[in-house]
Structure 1
Amino acid sequence: MLKNYFKIAYRSLLRHKTFSAINLVGLSIGIAACLICLLFVKNEWGYDRFHKKADRIFRVVFQGTIQGEVLKEAHVMPPVAEVLQADYPEVLAATRIRLMGSPTITVGENQFRNHQAAFVDANFFEVFTFPLLKGHPEKVLSEPNSLVISQSKAEAYFGSQDPLGKVIWTNDGKEGFTVTGVMADMPRQSHFRFDLLVSMSTFTEGGNPSFMVSEFYTYLVLPEQYDYRKLEAKMPQVTEKYIGPQLQTGMGISLEAFQAAGNRIGLYLQPLTDIHLHSDLMGELGPGGDIRYVYIFTAIALFMLLIACINFINLSTASGSRRAREVGVRKVLGAAQRQLRGQFLAESILLSGFALLLALVLVKVTLPFLNDFSADQFGFSLTHNYWLLPALLLIGLGVGVLAGAYPAFFLSSFNTVSVLKGAPTGHPGKSRLSLRSALVVFQFSISIILIMGSMVVYRQLSFIQNKDLGYEKEQVLILPDVGYLGNNAETFRQQLLQDERVTHVSTSGYLPAGPSYNNNYFVFPEDDPSLQIKTLRYEVDEEYHPTLGLELLAGRNFSEEYGSDDAAMLINEAAARALGWEKEVLDKRLFHANNEGERKVYQVIGVVKDFHFRSMHERIAPLVMTLGSGKGAVIAKIKPDRVAGLLQSIKNNWASMAVDEPFSYSFLDDRFYQTYAPERRMGKVILIFSGLTVLIACMGLFGLATFTTKQRTKEIGIRKVLGAEIGGIVLMLSGDFLKLVGIAAICAFPLSAWIMGGWLEGFAYRIAIGPWTYLGAGMIAATVAFLTTGYLALQAARTNPVANLRNE
């Protein structure tokens, strides 16, 4: 019986090629889009879950509010791990990570870069599950100057030689590290990825007892089934016991007085598996994801499938009259409703199976293009994705049943006598029309939501690109590796200054876009320690401001003419507001103190207009600037239209310095552009899926319009005989569908505004969703729908009415 069902189903699909092709293509696109979305969602959910203790590992983070400024930092103070493990027995283990950067590695006569290194505690491999290919987890990092290297870097540095016991050098050959272990390359689905791990005992700051500095990423292992919130509730005790006394010594203010001024600081816990998708902290170890995108992609996956299934339902029920006599004859010959339902479900499942095969081909073809603009590399292998085969079978069967269930019940319920007499069904036509109309409205509602999403993302990114940043990002060249020139760095800088194509040259590692030095700083006015604020501190030279085009609102810039500028400070408007200095700012004094009470006094010599030195997801925070030592990147302001020749000249100068480091550069506007790469990728993805959604919806609309036009052939002929114009007939036939698109727009606008409003809330500086966005999305959907139905309507309207009436 089952074999017979599928044989008849196959013949039926071949007999009705047009409707079968529309359903096949629509279903395959819907399934392919669903699979791609599921790959993304699975990839995002999988971050950090490969660790054996993943559900028991928690990161300690620092949060608080100081003078109204919200602090959220992923790193904490050096002694936090030690004191938590000593004071709380529920802390079974604690380990730390401290960034080391990307030092130049020397092995023999070869030098290497393009790697990431970090200092880690000796128990790192006991907390995290990173397989060691060589070495013992408890011993590899137990001694100073020990180093664990990744497998790929070991092969790059040592080739086929055994790396254990080998020494690599950094810092121009002044510091050596012995390779004690080789680890497998860290998975992409880790919120941090390092190539080199150096024992923390090598780093002198690792033993710093100060709670006034941070930069240490600290992770705890808690007992199984333990509610981490119980430990988190005890964290205020740590603040009182350890931070309070150092605050008193360093700042001269008690914790009680500090809190009485409205300030709050403390330690909190963050589940390891929440870091990638849920973290909004500063100073993350790598770019994170966004749980909102996971929700969006999950919704898109479901909606794409639903829209494809709706096409099937609409076309099957609309063409019911074509199968009516078949149903009647089968019933006369003794077929039961159960058998008829089985037959129609078999057709649906067979079509779904074909669509699934075609969808797999589409996924395989499009996946490389998806990976081109994705931050991750998605794979589509049954051997590496054990969940994929069951998911495919479930999707194929589910789509077949979902799409075919209603048509099966609808077609099998036709009244035998009625259909044999010529009536298409035994049901009132109005109810069927209402269902099909509702389904079309649903399809176009989703389409309009995605169209609006694409428009909002584009407008927001355009707003960011064109917003006044407070600094000049165009024609600013960044040379990040000048420090490797050693004593020749100043000579190189002077060569740049003497080039007529260069207007200004500054040296600083603090950059307003892209990777930058980071330096947290506590300062407070001399007359009121309770007004202390935590800021970023930029170390800059005298040319920093003119090079970036920063505007001074009051006072002066640093200058070699003033010998006291080593103790001078510039602050931005946000810092002045946080300190309560609305009018008189110049010549005020700010103090910085360490945990031992040693204070550095600065005199404010100027106020810089606020500029965006962080992403526009955040409001401009307080910033202070001090005169630096000239370390870091060289920043050069270039005259327009002189870039190409200048770059070659700089490269020649670099080569003449006989340095082994390759010449590298970037432009500040490109670094700014890359800051919003995730949003651009999101915009592209939404645009692609909105186009696919509209395409599938229009395919269904095309099928419905084809059927409707054939049903109204006689009516069209009569109208033309009575003098109806072609334009009037086209509007009549298209008007019904355009009304549905209008209803869809009314339904979609509030939901789209809510969804995209939530996305925009992630930006401190954002656009407003104006009426033109709604109008534009509605017009796009209406235009596409009109072109889809108008083509068929025009063909029908231009047909000779005599031929139509003779056929009738």
Structure 2
Amino acid sequence: MIKSYFKTAWRSILKHKTFSGINVLGLAIGISASLVIFMIVSYEFGFDRFQKDRDRIYRVVLGATFGGGTQGFSAGVPAPLGSAIAEEMTGVEQTVPVFQFQGDASADVMIGKDKDEKLQVFKKQKNVVFTNSDYMGLLGYQWIAGNAKEALKDPYAVVLTESRGRLYFPGIPAHLLVGRQLQYNEITATVTGIVKDLDQSTDFKAKEFISLPTVAVTGLRDDFMMNVWDDWMAYSQLYIKLSKGYTKEQAAAAVNALFKRHYDPVKKPGSTITLMLQPLADIHFNSQFQSFDSRLASKTTLYGLLAVAGFLLMIGCINFINLSTAQSSQRAREIGIRKTIGSSRMQLVMQVLSEIFLVTLMATLLSVLLTPWILKLFATYTPEGLTTDFLYHWPVMLFLLALTLFISLASGIYPALILCSYKPVLVLKNSVAVAAQSRHVWIRKMLTVGQFVIAQFFVIATLMVGKQIRYSTHVDMGFNKDAILTFNIPRDSLNAHRAVLIHRIKEVPGVQSVSSGFFSPADAGAAFVNVSYNNGKETVHPQAQIRWGDTAYLKIYDLKLAAGRNVSANDSVNEFLVNETFTREMGFQRPEQALGTYLRWNDKESVPVVGVIRDFHDMSLKSRISPMVFKNGTGSTFHVRLEPANVGMPWAATVSKIRGVYRQLYPEEPFKYSFVDDMVAGFYKNERATEGLLKWATALTIAISCLGLLGLVIYTTNSRTKEIGVRKVLGAPVKQIVTLLSKEFIVLVALAFLIAAPIAWWAAYKWLQNYAYKTTMSWWVFALSGLLMLILAAVTLSIRTVRAARANPVKALRSE
């Protein structure tokens, strides 16, 4: 019986090749896009799911409330907190402090194979941490060599992953690496163990583990502030695993009570510090506590992707339903004869569903073939670790099977019930066709409108996201970001080479000016400073960011002064510039009122305000302009303004010469630079990814919708062949016939726009609330969207209507 179902279904597919092809293609597009989205979502939600008892693992994070009610959050915590929890708290099964090298979180690793051989140097190695043995147990590392309990117990010990062992000592078996020595910057460590690399998706990226006791016996003790409770840095993180039965709330209360016993709030006046426990499952998604050099995923974006997948599948199913119901009258006689000879209702339903299942299966197989190509197409938006190998994981295969069955039922149950509801007597009298047309035409119209509502929504959303990105990247930031490159020099040689480097770079053709300092005016990182101002009534503690640089810094970025003067070139005399927002925090109505006042800096020194900088955007337009303090001084970051590209020598040649100057002073250091305008554009990386995904979703939605529209117009023109022939014989021009055939569909597309426009307006308005500075909701976005869809619909309709209108009426009437 089942074989008969599928044999008959295959014959029906071959008989209606055009409609079957439209159905297969529409479903394949929706399924392949949904498959890629499922792979992305499954991959992102699969992070850190392999740890044993992961529901009891937390990261200790910090929230701070400053004067004025502003808040800040940090994944970094005071360095001594880990040892204090281990010694003073109960209910904690494992305590795992994790420290990274400061600066760029990397270390130069040197290896000597024997005494006579020159050291081999690996520059800027990432993923090197200081931690204890509990780290290995927390993540369940498999040991290849070494003792799990003793390997990180003593100072100057290091455990390597298998991949790092092969990198440093190629061709040497892992068990022979124990006892080898590695030098990390100024620290020499002995290899005490080798572990297998983690083969699961995880945010724990460390590849080399130096024993935590090493910090206590080296100069890193002060660098890591191991005895400082009133300060913290992003390079100091802490993980704990709670004992069974000990709740998160109990642990959080105990951690804060412990912290208060050691923390002196007098050293941080005007601020309140609260420690929190962040679940392991939240680390990959929570941007509030983003750690150094980590990649986060957005749950909102992932849920949005799932919604897109749902919409694409819905549109594909709508196509199927529309075309199936449109063809129902043509299959009515077949159903009537089957009923007459004894076929049951269930048999007829199974026959129709088997046909739909076969079409869906063909679409699914086609989508699997398309997926590797789509993954390459979506490479900009897909996670780095997601490859085509993920396609063959059992959850993906299970998803495909479930999706095939679901689409078959969702698309087929309604057409099957319609066909099986026909009465044999009426069918054989040929009186069903007209009734079927009138009974189900309103459903097809409603489904077609639904298709184009979704398509219109995506078009408007894409245009609005693109408009906001263009606004963000072209708005006046308050400083000049063009033709400026930045690079860093090693900190330990700053004083020795800074002046020489500035002098030599100034002599490079194509360079306008050079400055040494800190971050550029706008930066992805936050650098807060502890400053306060006493206005006579109270002490104000703004949550201010800091920048510093020499006297050329303001000229480099074309920063304007609202009052006062530039800072002094004398580094021994501390002076501050503040921005206009800072003066308002101080309580002044006019910028010049702040001149001559003194700010308390780090609760140690009073520093005069000698100038006020006009406000500029210090971060992306999602954030409001922060209070800002600018201090005179030098730093490890160099800022170089180039001549305009159409004036001086080509930028590539200028950068090449700067690289040559750099390598003369630092022959072993890589020259890594970036342009400030690229960094500012990088603020909106997620928005650009969203825009890209919306563009693809829009294109796919329009493609599927137009395929469905084409199928319906093909059916309509086929069913009205005689009418078209009669009208042509009576003298109707081609234009009139095309208008007659297209008018109904154009009205449906216009109705879809009227429904989609207010929904898209509301969604765009809500999305723009994420930005402190945003573009306007322009009327032309909606007008352009509606016009675009009308044009696409008209073009799609013309493919068939013009051909039908120009056909020879004699042939049409003869065939009837």
Instruction: Please give the TM-score of this superposition, normalised by the length of structure 1.
Output: 0.91
Match of residue 191, structure 2, among 174, 179, 188: 179
Residues 763, 158 of structure 1: alpha-carbon distance in 2 compared, 3 angstrom cutoff: farther
When structure 1 is superposed on structure 2, of 123-132 and 551-560 the one drifting more is 123-132
Match of 1:210, SS?
coil
- Give the alignment of 1:567-646 within 5 angstroms: 567-583=574-590, 584-593=593-602, 599-628=604-633, 630-641=634-645, 642=649, 643-646=651-654
Q: Does 1:491 align with 2:500?
A: yes
Match of 1:191, SS?
coil
Structure 2 contact 746–794 (Cα < 8 Å) conserved: yes
Following superposition, the deviation at residue 241 of structure 1 comes to 4.1
Following superposition, the deviation at residue 718 of structure 1 comes to 3.3
Alignment partners' CA distance in 1, 2:305 and 2:678: 28
Following superposition, the deviation at residue 2 of structure 1 comes to 0.4
**In the alignment, what sits opposite 1:167?**
181
Match of residue 265, structure 2, among 242, 247, 250: 247
**In the alignment, what sits opposite 1:317?**
325
When structure 1 is superposed on structure 2, of 322-331 and 766-775 the one drifting more is 766-775
Residues 227, 725 of structure 1: alpha-carbon distance in 2 compared, 3 angstrom cutoff: farther
Q: Which amino acid aligns with 2:295?
A: P
Q: Which amino acid aligns with 1:440?
A: T
Following superposition, the deviation at residue 225 of structure 1 comes to 6.5
**In the alignment, what sits opposite 2:550?**
541
**In the alignment, what sits opposite 2:97?**
96
Q: Which amino acid aligns with 2:564?
A: G
Residues 233, 7 of structure 1: alpha-carbon distance in 2 compared, 3 angstrom cutoff: same
Match of residue 144, structure 1, among 155, 158, 179: 155
**In the alignment, what sits opposite 2:519?**
510
Structure 1 contact 68–578 (Cα < 8 Å) conserved: no
Match of 1:724, SS?
coil
* Alpha-carbon displacement from aligned partner over 1:661-691 (angstroms, at most 9, x marks no partner): 2333221222222332222122111111210
* Alpha-carbon displacement from aligned partner over 1:5-42 (angstroms, at most 9, x marks no partner): 11111111112111111111111111111100101111
Following superposition, the deviation at residue 297 of structure 1 comes to 0.7
Match of residue 193, structure 1, among 194, 198, 205: 205
Q: Does 1:46 align with 2:60?
A: no
Alignment partners' CA distance in 2, 1:185 and 1:493: 44
Q: Which amino acid aligns with 1:158?
A: F
Q: Which amino acid aligns with 1:531?
A: V
Alignment partners' CA distance in 1, 2:712 and 2:631: 70
Structure 2 contact 545–628 (Cα < 8 Å) conserved: yes
- Give the alignment of 1:386-397 within 5 angstroms: 386-397=394-405
Q: Does 1:218 align with 2:238?
A: yes
Residues 132, 509 of structure 1: alpha-carbon distance in 2 compared, 3 angstrom cutoff: farther
Q: Does 1:208 align with 2:208?
A: no
When structure 1 is superposed on structure 2, of 365-374 and 322-331 the one drifting more is 365-374
* Alpha-carbon displacement from aligned partner over 1:212-247 (angstroms, at most 9, x marks no partner): 34432222222446542454456664565444xx22
Match of 2:608, SS?
strand
When structure 1 is superposed on structure 2, of 205-214 and 489-498 the one drifting more is 205-214
**In the alignment, what sits opposite 1:124?**
135
Alignment partners' CA distance in 2, 1:37 and 1:538: 42
**In the alignment, what sits opposite 2:564?**
555
* Alpha-carbon displacement from aligned partner over 1:317-364 (angstroms, at most 9, x marks no partner): 101122122112222222222111111111111111111111100002
Structure 1 contact 44–277 (Cα < 8 Å) conserved: no
Alignment partners' CA distance in 2, 1:199 and 1:610: 46
**In the alignment, what sits opposite 2:510?**
501
Q: Which amino acid aligns with 2:300?
A: R
Alignment partners' CA distance in 2, 1:451 and 1:685: 12
Structure 2 contact 516–639 (Cα < 8 Å) conserved: yes
**In the alignment, what sits opposite 1:21?**
21
Residues 315, 531 of structure 1: alpha-carbon distance in 2 compared, 3 angstrom cutoff: same
Following superposition, the deviation at residue 314 of structure 1 comes to 0.8
**In the alignment, what sits opposite 1:156?**
167
Residues 778, 32 of structure 1: alpha-carbon distance in 2 compared, 3 angstrom cutoff: same
Following superposition, the deviation at residue 424 of structure 1 comes to 3.6
Structure 1, unpaired ranges of 5+: none
Structure 1 contact 550–608 (Cα < 8 Å) conserved: yes
Following superposition, the deviation at residue 427 of structure 1 comes to 4.9
**In the alignment, what sits opposite 2:116?**
none
Following superposition, the deviation at residue 747 of structure 1 comes to 2.5
Structure 2 contact 160–207 (Cα < 8 Å) conserved: yes
Alignment partners' CA distance in 2, 1:353 and 1:49: 32
Alignment partners' CA distance in 2, 1:294 and 1:280: 18
**In the alignment, what sits opposite 2:701?**
693
**In the alignment, what sits opposite 1:402?**
410
When structure 1 is superposed on structure 2, of 294-303 and 567-576 the one drifting more is 567-576
Residues 384, 31 of structure 1: alpha-carbon distance in 2 compared, 3 angstrom cutoff: closer
Structure 1 contact 29–692 (Cα < 8 Å) conserved: yes
Alignment partners' CA distance in 2, 1:489 and 1:104: 22
Alignment partners' CA distance in 2, 1:420 and 1:754: 52
**In the alignment, what sits opposite 1:531?**
540
Following superposition, the deviation at residue 781 of structure 1 comes to 1.8
Following superposition, the deviation at residue 366 of structure 1 comes to 2.2
Residues 485, 65 of structure 1: alpha-carbon distance in 2 compared, 3 angstrom cutoff: closer
Structure 2 contact 508–658 (Cα < 8 Å) conserved: no
**In the alignment, what sits opposite 1:466?**
474
When structure 1 is superposed on structure 2, of 677-686 and 425-434 the one drifting more is 425-434
* Alpha-carbon displacement from aligned partner over 1:541-567 (angstroms, at most 9, x marks no partner): 22222122222222222222x5763x2
What percent identity do the matched residue pairs reach?
30
Match of 1:143, SS?
coil
Match of 1:591, SS?
strand
Q: Does 1:796 align with 2:800?
A: no
Structure 1 contact 374–681 (Cα < 8 Å) conserved: no
When structure 1 is superposed on structure 2, of 89-98 and 434-443 the one drifting more is 89-98
- Give the alignment of 1:70-89 within 5 angstroms: 70-84=71-85, 88-89=89-90
Structure 1 contact 188–376 (Cα < 8 Å) conserved: no
Alignment partners' CA distance in 2, 1:787 and 1:686: 23
Structure 1 contact 143–199 (Cα < 8 Å) conserved: yes
Instruction: Please give the TM-score of this superposition, normalised by the length of structure 2.
Output: 0.90
* Alpha-carbon displacement from aligned partner over 1:73-94 (angstroms, at most 9, x marks no partner): 2222223334455555333333
Following superposition, the deviation at residue 580 of structure 1 comes to 2.7
Structure 2 contact 80–229 (Cα < 8 Å) conserved: yes
Q: Which amino acid aligns with 1:198?
A: I
Residues 789, 390 of structure 1: alpha-carbon distance in 2 compared, 3 angstrom cutoff: same
Alignment partners' CA distance in 2, 1:147 and 1:552: 52
Match of 2:631, SS?
strand
Alignment partners' CA distance in 2, 1:383 and 1:19: 29
Cα-Cα RMSD: 2.7
Structure 1 contact 9–350 (Cα < 8 Å) conserved: yes
Alignment partners' CA distance in 2, 1:188 and 1:481: 36
Alignment partners' CA distance in 1, 2:792 and 2:434: 34
Alignment partners' CA distance in 2, 1:106 and 1:239: 39
Match of 1:182, SS?
strand
